Each structure stands twice: as structure tokens, then as C-alpha cells.
Amino acid sequence: MEKVKSMAAWFDRKWISLAVLVFVNLINYADRYTISAVLDGAMNELCDSDLEDGVEERCTESQGGLIPSMFIVFYFAGAPIFGYLGDRYSRKIIMTVGIVVWGGFSLATSFMPHYWGFLIVRAMYAFGESAFTTIAPVVLGDLFTDDTRSLVYGIFYMAIPLGSGLGFVLGGAPADWRMGLRITPGLTFFAAFLVFALLYDPPRGESEGKEESALEHTSYWEDVKYILTIKSFMLNAVGFTCVTFTTGALAFYAPLYFVNAIDSMGPNCTNVTTGAGAEYEPVISTDAVSFVIGAITATAGLGGVVAGMLLSRNLRGRFEWIDPFICGTSLIVSIPLLIVAIQLAKSNTISAFIIMFFGMFFLNFNWSVAVDMTIYVITPTRRASAEAIHLMLTHALGEAGAPYMVGLLVDGLKEGVKEQHAEGTCRQVIDYYSFQYAMYLPIALLFLGGLLFLLACRWVVRDKQAVEKETRDL
């Protein structure tokens, strides 16, 4: 009877811990993407406050893109530190403190009157956030065995599309863009409380049936050198960086792109090609764009994460190399769908949204599958450090770096677009075509990511078996 009670308690604390981490991840992505929903209002206001002559000036696209890209600096500062600490000290305490820091800076952002203050404070939350994103997947890896880990990561990464969609909705709900940034910080502080009160932090290596004291801890530099030699891990990390570069650019600029597409057909723009003007009635209002994109991101992303997880779970027993194959193939399938959606945004907005849904569905196949790969090809005592390296590449260089690079490209294309397109010279027309051309950069990188994942099929089985052998021999 005591044994049954003990098993029930163990079961409860595992799944309660999973529920807590899923909630935190949901708020993580909601907080991150509220800025996308309010970007147009923020760009209209923040740079005006820096002017002394009173002349209104909108922030440039590269200035807007720099907001999430400053994430790089602070994420690079935080991820290796928390990777090192997460392999050696209490992961519950580290995550709790990190989440509080992230929530504090996120709230402070909404009070910044000037662009540069907004930029720095908004970026600083990345330091606290890196404590959670680096350590949480590793805790789940120690809580659940290989048989259930793919299912668990599928559940955990469902929070990404749902949270991203929630961020669009919450950020765009209030009329004041600053109020849109003040909703998620309260939920972030609540998430910190849940982690501290309810999370179970298991001993490292527990899912493999090993006592933590039996596992050999090495120096940080030895850990890094080991990680860099795992070919399937490195191909995964670089390939997934291409994925997050594309998702970062799409998530940040998609609302603005579709708003420009709609406005470019309206009364404020002369359109000699279509004759659209004062009589033009859009099929969807610009106020509803953030909500629609949020719904697409949430539903397509959720479906993609679940589909990828189920494919991996059902096929890995027969084909041990299937995980990178799923990731690579799904990325390549998503490319033509995304290209068509980008092209149709102005001429047929509803069709563009529908096709974008299917493109996002395939684009999200790899979230849980790719992260599961980073766990099972790395030994238990080095997983937090490996996750830190993976996140530094994928989120800092990919997701955070994309908006600034695409924004720079947009600014550089505008003069050429003005000369090329005769249907009008209003800002929305120029911005629409500049964004359209600039988005082919992340699409090209997505193709590269697909090829890198397919190449990882060659080494993933060998790397996984090496970890299993080393763990058995301890």
C-alpha cells in the first residue's frame, strides 16, 4: 500500500511540474510577442519623443527590428551562466529568480518614454528569461523517461504557438499600446510563484535510473568541447537557428506587413494599377489583423507541434533516424506555402491567411522533436550547458536577430521600390513591397535549415547510442 501511495505521489509531482512549466512557457511567448501586436503604435510614438524641434518622425524599420534583436546581447550574457549553474545547483531557485527578473523588466518597458530607454529595458528581460528557457527542458528530461519524453516535449512546446497567439491578442486588445505591454508581467510574477511553490526539481540523471552522485561532473570547458563534437547536436542547433530566424521575422513583422497590404489599397494611397482608393472596402479591417494572425499562429502552431510529436513517437521505434528527417522534410514543405501567402497578402488577403495557416502548420512540426534530440544525444550532466548553447544559437542569433536584419534590408530596399512600383508613393505601398522582398532572406535560410536537419540523419543514431552506452556503464 505504501508503495502504491509513493508511486501516486511521484506521478502527481511529475505531471504537476510539467503543468507549471507549460504555463510559464505560455507566458514566456505571450510576453515576447505582445510587442509585435503594438509595433505600429510604438514606432509612431517612441522616436517622436527624442526630437527637440517637435517634428513628427516615425521610427525606421531597422529601429523597430532592433527591439527584439537587442535580446541577443542579454541572452548571450545569461544563457551560458545559467547553463553552468543549471548543471550544478538548484534549478528551481535559479528559474524562480530568473522569472522575477524577467517580469520586472518587462513591466518597466511600458513606462519608457524614449526609444533608447525602451530598447535597453525591453532587452534586459532576456537575461532573466534565459534562466527558464535554458533549464526547463533539462528538468523535464530528468523527470520523464525516453518512452514518454517526446510526448512531454510536445505538450511543453504547444505553449509556443498558443503563447505567441495569446501575445498578439493581449497586446492588441487595449487601445493604448503601452497598456498592451502591461498585461503579461502580472502573469509572469504569478508563474514565478508557481515554480517556487509547486515545481519538483529531480536529481540529474533520474530518468535514466542513475543516482546523481554516480554521475561524473566535469569542468565547463570540458563540457563545451564535448558538446561541440556531437555532430547531430550541432547540425540540429544550426538548422533550428534557421527555423527560429524565419519564425522570428514572420511573428514580428506579419501584423505590420498585412496592415500595410490593406492600407496600400485604401483612400490614403493612390493606386493607378487597380483603381482602388476612397471606394476601397477591405475584407478585413486593420484593427483585426493582430487577432487573426494570433489565431493562425496559435491553431496552426498547435497542430504542427502535435503532429510532429505524434510522428516522432510512432515512428522512432522503427526508424531511429526519423527525428531529423521529420524536421527537415516539414521545413522544405512549408517553404512554397509561405511564399504564396506572402505574395497574396495584398491581392487576396483571405487566401493569404488560409495558405499561411498551412505554412505555419508545417513550420511548427519540429519544435518538440528538435529539442528532444538535444536531450537524448547529450549525457545527463551536460544537458543544461547543451541547452544553453542550443538556445544561444537558435533564439539569440535566430529569433532575436531576424527582425533587425530584415528591418535593415527593408530600409535598404525602399529607394529601389519607389522607382520600381508606379502605383503610388505612399508609405504603405513602399513598406509593403520592401517587406515582401526582404522576407525572401528568412525563406532561403529555412531551406538551408531543412538540408542541415536531413544531414543530421547520418549521425543521430550513433550519437544517441553513445549516450545510452555511457549511461549504462556508470
Q: What is the pLDDT of residue 323?
A: 92
Which residues are CB-contacts of 7 (< 8 A; sequence separation ≥ 6)?
none
Q: What is the pLDDT of residue 1?
A: 46
Q: What is the pLDDT of residue 327?
A: 94
For residues 150 and 157, give the distance between their C-alpha atoms in angstroms, rounded to a whole number.
10
Calculate the CA 126 to chain-centre distance.
13
For residues 387 and 78, give the distance between their C-alpha atoms in angstroms, rounded to a whole number.
12
Q: What is the pLDDT of residue 205?
A: 60
pTM for the predicted model, two decimal places = 0.72
For residues 82 and 371, give the distance between their C-alpha atoms in angstroms, rounded to a whole number.
18
DSSP per-residue codes, 224-259: HHHHHT-HHHHHHHHHHHHHHHHHHHHHHHHHHHHH
Instruction: Give how far Cα 360 sits from Cα of 115, 258, 261, 334, Å.
Output: 32, 16, 20, 7
Q: What is the pLDDT of residue 394?
A: 78
Q: What is the pLDDT of residue 277?
A: 47
Report pLDDT digits (tens) over 336-351.
999 999 999 888 889 9
Q: What is the pLDDT of residue 4?
A: 44
Instruction: Give how far Cα 333 sits from Cα of 136, 364, 417, Å.
Output: 30, 11, 30
- Look up the CATH architecture of domain 13-204+219-473: Up-down Bundle (1.20)
Q: What is the pLDDT of residue 471?
A: 67
Q: What is the pLDDT of residue 275?
A: 47
Instruction: Answer whether 388's CB lies under 8 Å from 394's CB.
Output: no
Q: What is the pLDDT of residue 51?
A: 46
For residues 339 and 6, give the distance between their C-alpha atoms in angstroms, rounded to a whole number.
54
| Tens of pLDDT, residue by residue, the chain (474 residues) | 455 445 445 557 788 888 899 999 899 888 887 887 777 778 877 886 444 555 557 777 777 778 777 777 777 777 777 777 767 778 888 889 889 988 899 889 888 888 888 888 888 888 888 888 888 888 887 787 766 777 787 788 778 778 877 887 787 777 778 888 888 888 999 999 998 988 888 776 665 555 544 455 567 788 888 888 889 999 999 999 999 888 888 877 888 888 888 888 776 675 544 444 445 676 778 778 878 888 888 888 888 888 988 898 889 888 889 999 999 999 999 999 999 999 998 888 899 999 999 999 999 888 788 878 887 888 877 877 787 788 777 776 777 778 778 888 888 888 888 777 655 567 778 888 888 898 888 899 999 999 999 999 999 999 888 888 776 655
Q: What is the pLDDT of residue 254?
A: 86
